[in-house]
Structure 1
Amino acid sequence: MKIENLFTRPINREVKGVIKIGQSDDESVFQELDEYVVTQELQGHFRHFFDAYQHALQVPTDQMGVWISGFFGSGKSHFLKIISYLLDTKRIVQKRKPVDFFEEKMIHKSTLEKMKMASKGNNDVILFNVDSKSEADSKQNKLAIVKVFNKVFNELLGYSPSIPWLAQLEEILNSKGQYEEFKKLFEIESGLSWIDGRDEIYYNEDAMILALSKATEMSVESARKWITNGEENYEISVESFAIRLAKFVSQQNEDYRLIFLADEMGQYISENTQLMLNLQTLVEDIGKLTNGKVWIIVTSQQDIDTLKHGVSSMNDFSKIQSRFHLRLSLSSANADEVIKKRLLDKTDVAKETLKITYQEIEAGLKNKLSFSEHTVDMKTFKDAEDFASVYPFVPYQFHLLQKVFTGIREHGSAGKHLADGERNLLEAIQQAAISYQDKEIGVLVPFQNFYESIDQALEHSVRSTIIKAQQSETLEVFDISVLKLLFLIRYVKEMPANIDNLTTLMVQHVDDDKVSLMNAINDSLKRLEQHILIQRKGEEYVFLTNEEQDVNREIDQIQISNAKVITQIGQTIFQDILDIKRFNYCPFENRKGINYSFDVASWIDGHALSNGIASLGVRLLTPYFDEADSVESIVALSAKEQQVIVVLGENSTYYEDMLKKIKIQEYIRSHSTQNESELIKNILNKKVSESNELSKSIKVQLIHALEEAACYVNGVELKISTNLPNAKIANGLDLLIESIYPKLSYVVKQFQVEQLNELIKYTQGNIFGDQSEDVNFLATNELIEHIDNHTEHHAIVILGELLQKFSKKPIGWRETDILASLIYLLKDEKVIFKLDNRKMSLKDAQFVRTITKRHFQEKIILSKRKVIEESHLRTALLLVKDTVGLQIDHDKEDILAQKIRQIYKQQLDELEKIKLNYQYRFYPGENVVDNGIKEIKRIYAKEDTRELFQYLFEAENDILAFFEDFIPIRNFFEHHTAIYDTAMKLKERYRKDVNLLTSSAGKEAGKRLESIMKNSEPYSMIKELPSLNEQFRMALTDELEQASEPVIKTIQNNKNILIEDVRNSEKAKEKLEKSISHGFSHLKKRAEEAQTLSELNALKFEIEDLTKKYLDQIQGIKEEEQQIREMVHVSKKEILDSSVVEKHVKPLKKELSQRIFQRQDIIPRENIEIKNYAELDDYLSKIKSKIETELKLGKIVKIL
């Protein structure tokens, strides 16, 4: 049976694969409706649309925007057109309403009922392509959208679509009932119908003016003015258009609906924010004003969400989304379903025949149609039913062909009409089926056959490659088929162009021999590659355009040296695969924390790539290295060099691929893209990608080569269990390091610099997780043997030189580990560190910092330590016990010395504390304390352990003598300073009153206190002080009480007399009363608190002086008052003397002034001894004479 006889409908009939908006003849509409396939996906979209539409018929709503999205070939334009047919209530197609065609289609019953209800109304449908209806430069106008809608609405109403102001005039005339009359008059005046003449209005202006004037009865001049200024005066906005629509629909029947269906709206407004917002405003205003009577349905190649990238704010975007409440997204997932029903639907006989055929060939056919491992989502026949429904095609071809179209369109290899979708999947399948219609059952359409459906749509650079190949005398017809296939799948990532996939794609009969076909394809690929029509990339092959062929030819001619290729291979391995610039070696399997880091030299063949001077390395040997062309030469090289030798195999193309990659990179570097055409720029960009892909392929190949490589160390091929490259090389380096550094295992614990301080600080117990004992004793023994040997031969050991020797091969220890062992030796008192001839000590806070600084390491000298004499050690221990009373255990010399220094430092601190007491008072024993401080400082100053023990041995007697003398002094300061201080104070009071004391007990006690205080060693007499202090204190207190009584009495008496006197004068009272009271109260307090008799005696003179001071002040104030009274009296008398009337003025009575004497002023102070009456008379006459003198002066005498 021939292919053409399999189908229910003729395969070669005209099928409109691409639906064109505006193509609405009955025959086309009938075929569209009749052959329209409602897939499962479309069922859902119809349901959602008519649910929303039905709701709007019943309930007023502003949700009347519909956004239909879908990529190329998804059928969105066809769906839009079908919706327009279903909503067009006036459309009849061959005596059937559009909804009638859906009775036989797969559509849900409830959805079909809603379709029918929608088709019963009174609707106007406007279906248009936005771009075709817009002006050429309209996208620059932010009102472009509303202008397009206005244009198609004018078309619906029969008004001028191209001249909007003229359409407005037509509408005005129509509203006034003058439009028909105007059209008749215009035809009379111009000889043309209005419809024919209005598009050339400016050629028929006079006729229009006359017709307008007559139809409207306006003057000719007014009509001319209206037409002349019509365009200038015309304005349109979204709001005015929405109002116009609202007015229009309000004048229609209640069930009237107006539906705008705008195809390709998304492409028109994409990346133009103003147009997006214009559309949003339009839908919003129309919805608000018409309440669901006007619908706007648009299509777009992108989902509405993708438009947000062109919108200035998320707020604007959310508004656009909200206007299109119903969003339907179409995919091409069910394209095969459409194809099967529209094109490939078989007759019953054909179905049965094909099912039987499949059952006979099923097993072999599945093998023929298998793809390579990494090719996914390529369906083959599921069963006989599937075979019958798809034949003569294979299921994967529908999905793959869609990807081919998309790839060609996106990469610009096709002309405009393919990019616009005029050659779609349906057309391609039909054309391929027609080309095989004369074939018998058993033939399969190979994938390269689809090339013919797009050949005329391709760019010249692609077609010319195919044409030139067809004209080549050295290429075969089959080669051209392979070339066409390679072009088709060039941009399909899901279909790798390897030999397995190419073979499957080219199967053209169920009985094909796949092996023979594969061999034929292999031969074709070689011929095509030789002609530079294709290019191999690893296991895949790529179609080349003319320009790509020219570029490849130039690249192929670039000369690259073998050394450069080998070097690049080495750099790829060492930089991208092997991480061995530094290698960490772990000598213990169970202690990964103990490791050594080595620089590793990287070599390939005879070229050093990095770290060429490192002590060990890895050398790669390629098949291109002549000096290692045999196993023997490789073994010899391995024995000579301290390297891991890695021998790479030949079973790969990494060398050829690296050569190609370098050539591409050289070509790209030499060709600046600035002056190249866009085509060449694209090719160069692809070459960059190709270079990157080659890098990935080379890396994979080199990893495989390393996995298969043989490794040699020290002339022996290694037997390594792993094939992992890094593990393999690490194993070799482990063995190499073990042979170069055999003593690395001596160090079983590694130290960091900060741990060295801890090692010094802690001498016992757990540190760092192990005992303080030296776990690296093997390494420590190596060091002490070296130091002992040099010391015995009187050779100097410098720390820096020792560190350098033991950190290099064949030892290789870390510097801090060497220093840790040296610290152990120093702690064990087996070595001495000296810097600038000064012995270093572990107790020095800067010890670790010093030994780790390179500058100091070159100055520090190490030597074996001499043992201290036992007699000196014994003397030191006994001396501490005898002087301080402490028993020290025998310990290491330095530790023992440190303890002794600490003990005597405590003694020194005590002495210096006692010494402070002598700064303020005289205490006994100061010379002894001073000598003791000097002696202990000499002990503490001995930093060298040997010197310390030597000094203690020599100064034993002096030290013992001091501590014996210090015993009573320490006792004194611990217990007796308080009572001694009291005695010292009382002794000072005694010295002040020694001549005034009358008590014999007081005199005796004070004299004894003075005697004890003068003694330099009064320690045995301290016990007398308590009773002497008490005895002297009581005697002195009694005498003070007796002596203070008359003094206090005198103070009080003088105070009273003075207070009484100042009260006789207001001025004196005001100025002096408080001062007198305060002054004498203070004297009284001092008299009561006096500590010595001499203090009381001195107070008597202060009483006299203070009394005299206030008497003088009082007298002065009174004399001033008397002078003032006299002056006032004289003034009054003068005034009266000058008056006419004489008056008697009473004489001023002169007040007598007082003269106050203290007794000592009248009674002589010298000692008086009266032996007879004559002496008595003489003494009294002196007193009388002084008093009489004052009386004669008219003064009152007071004696205090």
Structure 2
Amino acid sequence: MKIKELFSKKIDRDLQGVIIVGQGEETNVVQELEEYVVTRELQKHFADFFAAYKKGINGTTAKTGVWISGFFGSGKSHFLKILSYLLANKKVGEKAAIDYFIDDHKIEDEMVLADMKLAAATPTDVVLFNIDSKSDSNGKRNKDTIVSVFLKVFNEMQGFCGSMPYLADLERRLMDEGKYEAFKASFLGEYGDTWENSRQDFDFIQDTVVDALSSIGFMSDAAARNWCEKATGQYSISIEDFAKRVKAYIQKKGKNHHIVFLVDEVGQYIGDDSNLMLDLQTVCEELGKECQGKAWLIVTSQQDIDSITKVKGNDFSKIQGRFDTRLSLSSANVDAVIKKRILEKTPTAEETLALCYEQKATIIKNLIVFNDGVEKKLYAGLQDFQQVYPFIPYQFNLLASVLTSIRTHSSSGKHLSEGERSMLALFKESAVAIKELVIGAFVPFYRFYNALENFLDHSHRSVIIRAYENSYINPEHRDDVFAVNVLKTLFMIKYVREIEANVENITSLMIESMDDDRLALKGRVDEALKVLMRQMLVQKNGSVYVFLTNEEQEINNEIEKENVEMPEVITKIAEMIFEDILPEKKYRYPAFNGRYSFAFNQAVDDRPYKATQNYDIGVRILTPWYEGGSDEGTLRMMSGQGKEVIVSLPNDAEFLTEMRAYLKIEHFLRRNTSMQIAKYPAIREAKNIEMRERNANVKLYLTEALKQAKVYVNGDLVSLSAKDVANKIGEAVGRLVQTVYHKLVYIDAPMGEAEIRRALRAGNQISIDLQEMKESNAHALDDVREYIARNSRNHIKTSMKALKERFMKAPYGFVEDDIDWLVARLFRRGDIAFTVSGEPVSLNNKTEDDIFNFITKKQYVEKLLMEERVRVSGREKKAVRSVMKELFRTTVLPDDEDAIMRDFRSFAKSLIADIEKLEPLYERYAYPGKEVLARGKALLRTALQPQSAAEFFADIAKKQDDYLDFAEDYEPVKAFFGGDQKIIFTRALDMLAIYDDSKTYIVNAELEEVVAQMRAVVRQDKPYASIPRLPELRDKFTDLYNAVLEEESVPVLSSIEGDLVRVLQVLQEKPYAAQYEANYRAQFAEIKSGAERCNNVSQLRSYKDKAEALKLRLLNEMDARDASLAAQKEIEQEAHEETPPAPQKVRKIKNVSIKKVTGTSSWRIESKEDVERCVKEMREALLAQLDEDTIVNIEF
């Protein structure tokens, strides 16, 4: 059975596969309505649309926007056109449009059908148009506003001029006034042709228009002339005014009249123009608001409009939000229509195909295979095979993607968007192409090219045409050439992301029969691709083959001329290996949770990847371009001598070829930012994509090459268990590390900051295994100690920096924490000594934190110097222990030298502090032991000066006798200040001080003898044995001294009492006596009390003088008070007497002590002359006291 005999309807019948909005002869419309397939998806869309539309018929609604979306070829335009037929419900053929749906039972739901009948019965003006074709603009820029296009089609629908809105306004005005027909008749009579045929030439017929307007009485001649001049100017109308104009039209029509604007491809027209977006949104809003359900706006747009027109999703979604009714057509809808209208089979054909499928199902499944990971539908079963054959299910979606990509990337895509090629037509014509073949034949994918060819860009078609004419490709000049068919296939999938153009997939697309030998066909495809590549019609990017346009071929020729040197290729290969494939720059040693990591040099062939590489080990990758020898012996030697892992890649240079191609494109694009070649920006972008793809290919090929590579370590070809590239190389580096860093095993216990601090804090017991009596990291400690000792023997101090440089490199590979701990342990163990900035450092002059910082901080890495420590002799240790036992009374001492030194200094500082507390006591009292304390303090301070333990122990041992003498002398001094002796001694000194202060007034031999005995005791250097005598002597002193004091106090107290009596005698004569007597008595009582309490003879005598001074002061106060009272009384008398008395002088009274007059407290008289002398002196003194108007009272 032939293919053409399978179908229920003739496959080569005249079929309206081209859907053009705005075009449709009645015959075609009848066929459209008869054959229109209402799929399950369309059943729902018809229901949704007419349910919404009914609201405007039965009532009012502002939601009158309908958005129909779907990918190219999904049937949007066809659906829009069918809606226009149903809404207009004109008679087509023998019946109305709705009857085709009723008679053929296209709609299953009776309620939906009722809504459709209601709409068909409602008077409706249908305005169906493609907005791009109706726009007067002819480019992507400066497009007409949406409202301008709508006004144009609205005017045309009413029979008015669409291209010139001023003329349409005139026509509308004439129509409203009933003069339009008269105007047309007048114009015809004047001009000789109808108005409709002539109005497009308005600029040339203005005189006739003026005459016609004036002849019918519509305008005066002048007014008409004036109007014609303005009619050629710029015209504008707001969207609001347009909506009101539509509303007026509907109201004028009456009877629930509707108008529906059906706009095809509005998304394509809008593009990324935000102004057009806003226009469309506002038109929809205003029509809904003004017309309330009587004016509808139905538009179509690509479902994938965002990716095609680069519209921002948010902006586009705002427009769609104005369209409350949204209908989306899927690919399933297209499949169903094609299966129904074209591929529907006869019962006989179905039986035949069932037998065929039963025999060939497995063969077909193995024959058509795709390997790019994207689903390509094959036959789901017998029914699917019967419905789709001779096509293959994947072709539906793939062809839709092809059409979309051609529309996007071709300048001819506009024709496609206008519906000049539908999926229906493409499948129909491709089936016709094989109609004479028998069952078993398939429609290969290239067949669709022939149906599309006339609608493609010349730049694409010319490549195919020249391939036919190429004698190398088509030597026999046949019409059917396999290589050209492959080229057609590559063209169609050039921009399709859903399929990868590799050999396997191309082979599947080229399948033409169930009996094809896939392996042989693949060979033919492979050969055809090689031919096409040699003719520069196709290029290979990795495993993918790409169709080249003329422009792309030209650019490829230029790219091939670019010069790329081998070193540049190797450098890029190295970058990819060591940055992308093997990004790890260090090998992590598996022990201790990856604590140890080893950086390694990186090189490809003879070129280091980076200039600054100086590590102990390395990895060298050898490519097929390496010229240094690739035989096994040479590679073994290289790996053994150079401490390198040698990775020898297989002798397949595909990755190098790809990298060279990548670099050529890069060079070309860098130099040629612009060229005088059509579509260069797009091609440049494609080349950028190609670069990324080639780069990905290089990585893929290189990774595979590394997997297959031979690896040499330590002079041997090694067998590695790891399969992953990174793990494989890591395993090889690990083996190298074990050899190069063979002393890393000396670290058996990793240490960190906590352990370093603990090492400084603890003694010799740190990190010792009590069971095995083996110290942690013992071998590492030995090597570090020996290295420092060796330098010390050569009179070199070892810096921390030098130590780390030594032990962080091979063969050790220690980390900084390891070395820090080893140094801390050796230091604390006493094996090494520190100096920082020239100053010795120990736990005695620095804290543990200080030493920790010296060891670990970067700032001290060159300042911290180490040397072997000089050990202290046993004799010196014994001497220090002896001193500490005698002086500090301590016997529990550590064995560690630094600890002993630290403890000694701690005790010494404490003792010095005790001495310094006693020193202020000697400033007041002459206590014993002052020289002993001064000598001891000076001695102890010398112990704080040595910086090293060796110096310290030597100094103490040398001064051992001095320390022991001090210990002996200090003991009684310490006891003196710590017990009662100090109190007894202090009291004795206080009594002697009192005696010394009064001894001038004391004449008592017995008392003087007691004082002499006490003074003999306190003046001894070591009075400690004699101090017990002091209490007895103190008692005797007290008794004798008190007797003297009592004797001396009698005249003093008598004098005080006499002075008081004298003052009171004078006071009794005064009018204010009662007021002041108590106060005067109190003042004398205070002096008397002080005299009675006084224990110092010298001070006792002073109380007599105090009483006398008080007496004089009080007498003078009373005299001054008397004078004041007298003056006041005189003032009062003068106030009462008419004649004031003569003024009298007031005489002052002055009280003077006889001592002040005589100037002495005693006279010595031995003769008459002495009497005369004394009298004379007193006479002169008294005259000196006597002033004018002064009375002098002499107090004895």
Fold agreement, TM-score > 0.5: yes
Tell whether the 8 Å contact from 1:1154 to 1:1198 is kept in structure 2 after alignment.
no
* Stretch of structure 1 that moved more, 536-545 or 808-817: 808-817
CA shift, 1:721, in A, is: 1.9
Segments of 5+ residues of structure 2 without an aligned counterpart are 475-480, 1166-1170
* CA distance in structure 2 between the aligned counterparts of 1:1027 and 1:678, rounded to whole angstroms: 133
The equivalent residue for 1:722 is: 722
Structure 2: distance between partners of 1:408 and 1:309: 16
- 2:937 maps to 933
Question: For the Cα contact (< 8 Å) 1:661–1:691, is it kept in 2?
Answer: yes
Q: 2:385 aligns with which of 384, 387, 391?
A: 387
Deviation at 1:467, TM superposition (A): 1.9
Secondary structure at the counterpart of residue 699 of structure 2: helix
Distance 1:70 1:1035 in 2: 136
Whole-angstrom distance in 2 between the partners of 1:936 and 1:1033: 48
Provide closer, same or farther for how the CA distance between residues 975 and 406 of structure 1 changes in structure 2, counting only shifts above 3 A: farther
Alignment match, 1:1070? none
| Partner in structure 2 of residue 955 of structure 1 | 959
Paired position in structure 2 for 1:604: 605
SS in 2 for 1:673: coil
Aligned residue type for 1:393 = F
> Tell me, what secondary structure is at the counterpart of 1:720?
coil
In 1, the alpha carbon distance for the partners of 2:1157 and 2:641 equals 131
1:1039 CA drift (Å): 6.0
SS in 1 for 2:74: coil
Counterpart mapping for 1:94-105 below 5 A: 94-98=94-98, 100-101=100-101, 103-105=104-106
Alignment of 1:579-978 (within 5 A): 579=583, 581-584=585-588, 586=589, 590-595=591-596, 597-604=598-605, 614-625=615-626, 628-650=629-651, 653-669=654-670, 671-751=671-751, 756=756, 758-763=758-763, 774-784=775-785, 795-800=794-799, 809-810=810-811, 813=814, 817-818=818-819, 820-832=821-833, 840-843=841-844, 844-845=846-847, 847=851, 860=865, 862-863=867-868, 865-869=870-874, 871-889=875-893, 891-918=895-922, 923-974=927-978
Who is 1:539 aligned against? 543
The one-letter code sitting in structure 2 at the alignment partner of 1:478 is F
Q: How far is the alpha carbon of 1:868 from its aligned partner? A: 0.8
Aligned partners of 1:11 and 1:343 also within 8 Å: yes
Instruction: Provide the rounded CA distance (Å) in 1 between the counterparts of 2:777 and 2:225.
Output: 117
Does the 8 Å CA contact 1:603/1:609 hold for their aligned counterparts? no
In structure 2, the partner of 1:292 is: 293
- Which residue type is aligned with residue 913 of structure 1? K
Cα distance change, pair 1120–978 in 1 and its aligned pair in 2 (3 A):
farther
Amino acid at match of 1:172: R
Q: What displacement does 1:447 show? A: 1.0
Q: 1:189 to 1:702 in 2, by over 3 A?
A: closer
Q: 1:10 to 1:967 in 2, by over 3 A?
A: same
Separation in structure 2 between the aligned mates of residue 917 and residue 336 of structure 1, nearest angstrom: 117
SS at match of 2:742: coil
Q: How many Å apart are 1:937 and its aligned residue?
A: 0.9
| Amino acid across the alignment from 1:650 | N
Match of 1:480 among 449, 470, 484: 484
User: 2:1139 is aligned with what amino acid?
Assistant: K
Q: How does 1:1071-1150 map to 2 (within 5 A)?
A: 1093=1100, 1096-1097=1103-1104, 1099-1100=1106-1107, 1103=1110, 1106-1107=1113-1114, 1146-1148=1139-1141, 1150=1143
Q: Which one-letter code corresponds to 1:120 in the other structure?
A: A
Aligned with 1:674: secondary structure? coil
* One-letter identity of the residue aligned with 1:396: Y
Q: Corresponding residue for 1:1066? A: none
The alpha-carbon deviation at position 340 of structure 1 amounts to: 1.0
Corresponding letter in the other structure for 1:368: L
After superposition, residues 102-501 of structure 1 pair within 5 angstroms as 103-136=104-137, 144-213=145-214, 215-216=216-217, 219-226=220-227, 228-229=229-230, 236-253=237-254, 255-301=256-302, 320=319, 322-372=321-371, 374-412=372-410, 414=412, 416-418=414-416, 420-476=418-474, 477-501=481-505
3-state SS of the aligned residue for 2:338?
A: helix
**Does the aligned pair in 2 maintain the 1:238–1:281 contact within 8 Å?**
yes
CA contact (8 A) 2:90 2:96 kept: no
Q: Distance in 2 between matches of 1:900 and 1:963?
A: 14
Deviation at 1:817, TM superposition (A): 3.9
Counterpart Cα distance in 1 of 2:837 and 2:356: 105
Structure 1 residue 1196, shift from structure 2 partner: 13
Is the 2:581–2:703 Cα contact (8 Å) retained in structure 1? Answer: yes
RMSD: 5.0
Letter in 2 for 1:350: A
Partner of 2:477: none
Contact 2:1116-2:1150 within 8 A present in 1 as well? no
> How far 1:668 moved relative to its partner?
4.0
**Partners of 1:266 and 1:302 within 8 A in 2:** no
Q: Find the residue that maps to 2:1141 and give its secondary structure.
A: coil
CA contact (8 A) 2:600 2:616 kept: yes
Residue 525 of structure 1 pairs with residue 529 of structure 2: yes
Report matched runs for 1:22-101 at 5 Å: 22-90=22-90, 92=92, 94-98=94-98, 100-101=100-101
Paired amino acid for 2:289: K
Q: Deviations over 1:557-594 (max 9, x none)?
A: 5565556555554453344323464434x3xx542355
Distance 2:490 2:1084 in 1: 130
- The AA in structure 2 aligned to 1:439 is L
Distance in 1 (CA, whole Å) between partners of 2:78 and 2:649 is 62
1:995–1:367 distance in 2 versus 1, CA, 3 Å:
same
1:522 partner amino acid: D
Q: How does 1:941-1020 map to 2 (within 5 A)?
A: 941-974=945-978, 1020=1027
TM-score normalised to the size of structure 2?
0.84
Q: Which amino acid aligns with 1:278?
A: D
- What code does the residue aligned with 1:32 have? E
Secondary structure of residue in 1 paired with 2:281: helix
Alignment-mate amino acid for residue 387 of structure 1? F
- CA separation in 2, counterparts of 1:233 and 1:1056? 131
Mark the CA change 1:83 to 1:1026 in structure 2 (over 3 Å): closer, same or farther. farther
CA deviation vs aligned residue, 1:84-134 (integer Å, no higher than 9, x gap) = 222225555531233642552254333222212222222222222333333
Please state how far the C-alpha of 1:520 moved relative to its aligned partner.
2.1
Confirm or deny: 8 A CA contact 2:272 2:309 kept in the other structure: no
Query: Structure 1 812/506 Cα, relative in aligned 2: closer, same or farther at 3 Å?
Result: closer
Sequence identity of aligned pairs in percent? 32
Matches of 1:783 and 1:82 in 2, distance apart?
95
User: Cα gap change, 1:134/1:1107 in structure 2, threshold over 3 Å: closer, same or farther?
Assistant: farther
Q: Distance in 2 between matches of 1:1018 and 1:1034?
A: 29
Q: Is the 8 A contact 1:1051 1:1083 kept in 2?
A: no
Q: Is the 8 A contact 1:70 1:329 kept in 2?
A: yes
Q: Measure the CA separation in 2 of the matches of 1:113 and 1:641.
A: 91
Contact 2:824 2:855 in 1 (8 A): no
Distance 1:1025 1:95 in 2: 157
Alpha-carbon separation, structure 2, partners of 1:424 and 1:930: 119
Q: Distance in 2 between matches of 1:1121 and 1:353?
A: 161
In structure 2, the CA distance between the partners of 1:969 and 1:896, relative to structure 1 (3 Å rule), is same
Of 1027-1036 and 773-782, more deviation after overlay is shown by 1027-1036
Distance 1:988 1:189, change over 3 A: farther
- 2:276 alignment partner AA: L
3-state SS of 1:535 partner = strand
